[in-house]
Amino acid sequence: MKRLHTEDGPIRAAVRTAAWIALITVAPSSSLYAQDSDSEEVIEEIITIGTPGGAGIQKRDISYAVSVIDSADIEKFSPKSTADLLKSIPGVWVESSGGVAGANIDVRGLPGGSDAPFVTMTINGAPLYGTEMLSFFEQSSIFRVDETIASVEGLRGGPGAVFGKGEPGLTVNFNLKRGQEDTEGRVKYTTSDYDLQRFDGVLSGKLAEDLYYMIGGYAQSSPGIRDAQFTSEEGHQFTINLTKEFDNGLINVFTRVTDDHGQWYLPQCLNCGHDDGEFSQLGNATRLREIQISAGGDTEVFDFADGRGWDGSVSGANIEFDFGDGWTFRDNLSLTTGDADTFGFVPSGTAVTAADLSAVIGGPVMTAGGSTLGAGDFVQTYGHWVVMKDLRSFTNDISINKEFDGGHDVTFGIYQSSFSSDDFWSLGNPVPVHNTANGDFLDAAITPADMAAAGGDAGFMFGLASAGDARTTAFYIADSWQINDAFRLDAGVRRESIEIDYVLDTGGGFPDGTRDLNTSLDDDQTAYTVGLNWDFDDDLGFFGRYSNGYLFPHFDNVRENNLEVNDVSQVEFGVKYSTDNYDVFATAFFNENDSFDSVVGSGIPGSSFETEAKGIEIDATAVFGLLNIGVSGVFQDTEITASDTPANIGNTVLRQPDFQFRISPSIDFEVGSFLGTVYGAITLVDDRFSGNANTVVLPSYEKIDVGVLLSSDSGFFVQLHADNIGDSDGITEGDPRNPTSPNGRPILGTSVKFSVGYDF
C-alpha cells in the first residue's frame, strides 16, 4: 500500500484521542450552569430547510439533522470559498483545496470523489440549478459568500429526499439578509499577506410603508496564496433583496449578479521539493496557449489566468400568503443563467529528472526561453484543459398547506424545473514543462512522447461540443401530525419524472464535426420519508427517521451511457439536548446506495459500484461564562458492497475519512471601550484512500486557525485571522488520472488576513 505523503501527518491514535477529549469536554453535565447564555435563543431559531414549501419549524422541534451557521460564525470561519465554509457541517467532507471554485464535496459516505454528486444548494429555499452536478461543475462554484448572507442551513438526509429538489444527500440553504424598519449597514476592507484587496458593503432598511430593501456585494483581487505571477483571483458581486409585507403575507424578490474567478489549483508533484502550500506551476510563461478547436484547423488563444469561476446571475422570489381558516399558499422560484468555465493547467503522469529526459533526446534539456536545465531539475507533462459551460436553470416550487383539526398539518406541492448546459471541451493538449514554480515550456523539439520514453507521460486528447436540455416535474404530499404534547409524526412522498434531450459531437482534442449522439431519456421515481419526534422534556428530545431517495442521471451520465438511477435509503436516530450551558445534537445514520456510476469526464473510464455507510455526527456547543467551545464532526465506516471491479468489494469508499472533527473555542473579553473575541479552530482529519482500490493512502492531518475580533460601541471593528498557522501539508486527493503517480493536491499554506470596517 502506497502513502502519497507523510510530512506533518499526526499519529492516528493521537488524533483519535484528541477528538474524544473534545467530545468529553462538551458532553452534557448537570454540575455547570451559565448565568447568561444565548443557547435558548439558538434552539428557538426557525429552520426553513427540510420543511414542505419552506414553511419553517423551530429548531428544537426538528426530526432530522440540520446545522445552522449564522453571520457571526461565518466571520470567524473566514472561508476562502463557499465550499470551504461547509467544513463546519458534520458529516460533510469538503475538498476546497482547488481554489475559489471547483470543490469536491461528499456527505455521509455516499460515493463521489469528484464534484458534488449528492449536494444541492439553494438561496432563500430555491435551488441554484436543476441537477446536483455536471462534469466540471458543482453548485458552490456559482455562489459566493459575502456580507449579504444572514445564515446558512445544512440538511443531511432526512426529508431532503422529498422536499426542495428531492436531494437524498446534503441540501445547503443560504438565507439572504432582509431589510427592517431601521437603516443598517456595514462597510469593510480586507487585505492579506498575499496582497488581497477586497471591499465589502451591505445596506438595508425601509423604502416605503411595509417595503424593505437589502443591497450589498464586494469587489476583490489578489495573486492568490499560490502566486501565479498575475492577478489570479478577482471578481465582484452585487445583490439586491426586496421584501413587501402585507396583512396576510409577503413577497420577497432578489437578484444576485456575480463575475468572479480564481486559479484552479490541481494535484502537483509531491517529491520535487516544492513548497506544497504555495506552489503554482502556472505562471506568465504558461498562461497563454493557442489550441486547435475544430477539425477544420481553427485555433484560439486561451488565457488560463481565468481559472474556474462564474459569470452570471441567480434571481428568485419567495411568495407566502395566509388565506385564513388554516390555508397557506407558498411559491419559491429561481432563475439561474451564466457561464461556469474552467481553464486548468493539469499535470499528467510522473515528473522525471532532466537527466532522464536528456538520455532520451540525446542532448541537454532546454526551456522555450533558452535556459539549460541541470541534471537534477524536474520536468513533467502538463495539459491545458478548456471547459466552457453555458448554464441555464429555472425552478418553481408551489405548495398549499392546510391545518386540520386533530393536529394534522398537510401540504400539497408541485415542483417543476427546466435546465440546460451547452458545452465546449478541449482536454489534454499535453506539453512538457520545467516543473518548478511558474515554470516555462520546454524547447518545442521535445515532445510528450519523449517525456513518456523518459518515464513520464505522453498525455491524451479529448474534446466535445454538446447540448443538453432537461425538464422535471414532481408532486409531493406531506403530513405533520402532532399526536400529543410529546410526540409528532411526519411523513411525505414525492413522485418525480425527468426528460432529457442530449446532442454530442466529440473527437480527439476537439469536436470533429460528426454527430456522435442524439438521444433522449425518460424516467420517473418515487421518494418517501417518515419521522417521529419525541420531546422527552424541555431540555431533551429524540427522533428517528427512515427515508428513501434517488439521484437521476444527468447529461454526462447520458453521454457515458450510465443510465441507472441511484437509489439511496437512510435510517437516522438523533438526540437533542439543550440547557443554559449546552446545545448537543447527535445523529446516528446508516445509508445504502444501490448504484453509483462515476463520470471522470476526461476520457478515463468510469466505474459502477454500490456502497453502505454508518456513522455518528456530533454538532455541539458549550458555554462556560466567557468561554465558548464548539465541536462538529463525524465518526463513520464506509464499505463498497458491490462493484464492476470485483477486487474493490469490501474496500472503503474513496477519499472520505473515517473521522473528521472541527473544535472551535473562543473567549470574549473587554479592552477599554472595545469588546473582543479571541477564537481558534483545530481541524482533525483521518487517513483516506485516493481511490476505491485502496492502494494509495492519503495520510491524516491537522489544521489550526486562530483569530481575534475587536469592536467598539461606535461601530468600528477590526479582525485579524491566521489560517493554517502550522503550515500543514494535508493532501486532499491524489491524481485521479494517474493513481500511482506521486501527485497530490495539498491544502493551502499559511495565510493571514486583516479586516477593518464600520457598522452603522
Cβ-Cβ contacts under 8 Å for 640 (sequence gap 6 or more):
609, 610, 611, 648, 649, 650, 651, 652, 653, 692
pLDDT of 605 over the 90 cut: no
* C-alpha 585, offset from chain centre: 22
pLDDT of 123 over the 70 cut: yes
pLDDT of 8 over the 60 cut: no
pLDDT of 348 over the 80 cut: yes
What pLDDT was estimated at residue 40?
39
What pLDDT was estimated at residue 114?
85
| 430-434 and 378-404 strand pairing | antiparallel
Q: How distant, in Å, are the alpha carbons of 279, 350, 648, 654 from that of 739?
A: 21, 10, 15, 12
Beta strands in 598-700 (DSSP E): 608-624, 627-643, 659-671, 674-685, 688-689, 696-698
What pLDDT was estimated at residue 16?
37
Give exposure, 553-586, as e/b (b: 16+ Cβ within 10 Å). Answer: bbbbbbbbebeeebbbbbebebebbbbebbbbbb
Q: How distant, in Å, are the alpha carbons of 10, 56, 690 from that of 696?
A: 18, 45, 5
pLDDT of 36 over the 50 cut: no
Distance between CA atoms of residues 705 and 282, nearest Å: 27
What pLDDT was estimated at residue 535?
94
Cβ(592)–Cβ(609) below 8 Å? no
Distance between CA atoms of residues 345 and 230, nearest Å: 15
What pLDDT was estimated at residue 9?
43
Band (pLDDT 50/70/90 cuts) for residue 24 is: very low
Give exposure, 109-118, as e/b (b: 16+ Cβ within 10 Å). Answer: bbbbbbbbbb
Q: What is the pLDDT of residues 415-474, one digit of tens each?
A: 999 999 999 999 999 999 999 999 999 999 999 999 999 999 999 999 999 999 999 999
Cβ(489)–Cβ(532) below 8 Å? yes
Position 173: which residue type?
A: N
Domains of the chain in sequence order: 2-759 (2.40.170.20)
CA-CA-CA-CA dihedral for 261, 262, 268, 272, to nearest 10: 160
Cβ(262)–Cβ(227) below 8 Å? no
What pLDDT was estimated at residue 35?
33
Distance between CA atoms of residues 99 and 112, nearest Å: 19
Listed residue (387, 364, 572, 552) closest to 466, CA to CA: 387
Beta bridge partners of 397: 332, 415
Other beta carbons within 10 angstroms of residue 248's beta carbon come to: 12
What pLDDT was estimated at residue 14?
38
pLDDT of 604 over the 60 cut: no
- What would the mean pLDDT of 155-166 be, rounded to a whole number? 91
Distance between CA atoms of residues 627 and 623, nearest Å: 6
E strand or H helix that includes residue 202:
strand 197-208
The answer to which of 20-24, 647-651, 713-717 has the lowest mean pLDDT is 20-24
Other beta carbons within 10 angstroms of residue 9's beta carbon come to: 21
The x, y and z cell numbers of residue 325, run together, are 381558516
Give exposure, 18-45, as e/b (b: 16+ Cβ within 10 Å). Answer: bbeebbeebebeeeeebeebebeeebee
What pLDDT was estimated at residue 597?
66
What pLDDT was estimated at residue 113?
80
Query: Rg of the chain over CA atoms, in angstroms?
Result: 26
Q: CB under 8 Å, gap of 24 or more: what pairs does 30-34 form?
A: 32/581, 32/624, 33/579, 33/580, 33/581, 34/580, 34/581, 34/623, 34/624, 34/625
Query: Secondary structure of the chain: what % helix, strand, coil (to 5)?
Result: 10, 55, 35
E strand or H helix that includes residue 556:
helix 555-559
What pLDDT was estimated at residue 600?
47
pLDDT of 53 over the 90 cut: no
pLDDT of 716 over the 60 cut: yes
Listed residue (603, 396, 633) closest to 509, CA to CA: 603
* DSSP structure string for 689-739: ESSTT--EEE--EEEEEEEEEEEETTSEEEEEEEESTT----EEE--TTST
- What would the mean pLDDT of 207-215 be, rounded to a whole number? 97
DSSP H helices in 64-123: 71-77, 82-85
Residue with cell 439533522: 65
Average pLDDT, the chain: 91
Residue 693 has, within 13 A of its CA and on its CB side, a CA count of 11
The x, y and z cell numbers of residue 692, run together, are 476505491
Cβ-Cβ contacts under 8 Å for 209 (sequence gap 6 or more):
none
How many residues are recorded in the chain? 760
Band (pLDDT 50/70/90 cuts) for residue 2 is: low
The answer to which of 273-277, 298-302, 740-744 has the lowest mean pLDDT is 740-744
pLDDT of 198 over the 60 cut: yes
The answer to which of 80-94, 214-228, 353-367, 601-615 has the lowest mean pLDDT is 601-615
Confidence (pTM): 0.92
User: Residue 454 — left, alpha, or beta (φ > 0 → left; ψ -120 to 50 → alpha)?
Assistant: alpha
* C-alpha 491, offset from chain centre: 29
Cβ(373)–Cβ(366) below 8 Å? yes
What pLDDT was estimated at residue 609?
87
For the chain, helix (H) and strand (E) counts, in that order, are 7, 43
- What would the mean pLDDT of 536-562 be, rounded to a whole number? 94
pLDDT higher at 606 or 542: 542
Distance between CA atoms of residues 506 and 51, nearest Å: 43
pLDDT of 685 over the 80 cut: yes
Q: What is the pLDDT of residues 375-418, one digit of tens each?
A: 999 999 999 999 999 999 999 999 999 999 999 999 999 999 99
pLDDT of 23 over the 50 cut: no
Please report, rounded to a whole number, the percentage of residues in the chain having pLDDT higher than 90.
Answer: 85
Q: What is the pLDDT of residues 308-328, one digit of tens each?
A: 999 999 999 999 999 999 999
Beta strands in 428-461 (DSSP E): 430-434
Cβ(50)–Cβ(158) below 8 Å? yes
DSSP H helices in 228-336: none
Position 519: which residue type?
A: T
Cβ(170)–Cβ(92) below 8 Å? yes
Listed residue (747, 702, 744) closest to 726, CA to CA: 702
Distance between CA atoms of residues 466 and 390, nearest Å: 11
